[in-house]
Amino acid sequence: MSQKLAGKVAVVTGASKGIGAEIARQLAAAGAAVVVNYSSSRSGADKVVADIQQAGGRAVAVQANLSNPEEIPALFVAAKSNFGRLDILVNNAGIYEFGALAEITPEHFHKQFNLNVLGLLLATQEAVKLFGDKGGSVINISSVVATLAPPATSAYSATKAAVNAITRSLAQELGPQKIRVNAIAPGMVETEGTHGAGIIESDFRKQIESQTPLGRIGQTQDIAPAVVFLASDDAAWTTGETLYISGGMR
């Protein structure tokens, strides 16, 4: 991979596994120094850092639970102290819990909105303070469910619809500061999380694949290159967009 991000510094939230881990690896392969954020899986984050360092890149693991507003500033202090600057923020940290209307509780709602929406906003707030005169790039990880909105996903789908709206709004608000804000909306992707939830071996996966024009679920390697693109000068005139990477499923 070309060093199109040489000299840049990126924070990737929720990067100890799954899509976030692959994003961190590919940003580093493109030349960026990467802050690999994790909430609870120190071993996972350390593995990602080791992978990056073994490939000749620069990375550091930093703990912060993005659903706790008090922990967010320290993540960006660490970016500044370790690498001296910030150019890229990937808001990947998120949680999903499905539930029919009758099962929804305030806890179910706030657990998802506090991380997927409020945590994203507060992380972006901190990143903007560190972006220099040349601006920066914010990439939000949304989901195809923002518009697909299957049954029993009302709260989760609402968080991702909010992410799409935030992306559009902040792109307009931050554009004068040369800060670009875009989103990526993946379809179903094979990760530790989808394996742990039993989704990968389920009939639900087969149903999704049958409705997907390209006939398969995604891999983390399908998502990360688009993040590198949006973080780079190749996307210098791209902002406010949500890019669906879902095999054609919408």
Comparing C-alpha atoms, which of 225, 212, 234 is closest to residue 184? 225
DSSP character string of 75-105 = HHHHHHHHHS-B-EEEE---------GGG--
pLDDT per residue as tens digits for the range 89-143? 999 999 999 999 999 999 999 999 999 999 999 999 999 999 999 999 999 999 9
pTM of the model as a whole: 0.97
Task: In whole angstroms, give the CA distance from residue 96 to residue 34.
Answer: 25
Strands 136-141 and 189-190: what pairing?
Answer: unpaired
Catalytic residue, chosen from 38, 96, 156, 244, is 156
pLDDT score recorded for residue 1: 56
Find residue 85's DSSP bridge partners. none
pLDDT per residue as tens digits for the range 26-78? 999 999 999 999 999 999 999 999 999 999 999 999 999 999 999 999 999 99
Domains and CATH numbers, the chain: 9-190+220-245 (3.40.50.720)
Comparing C-alpha atoms, which of 31, 30, 34, 32 is closest to residue 13? 34
Is 156 among the catalytic positions? yes
Residue type, 230: L
Comparing C-alpha atoms, which of 225, 143, 144, 133 is closest to residue 176? 133
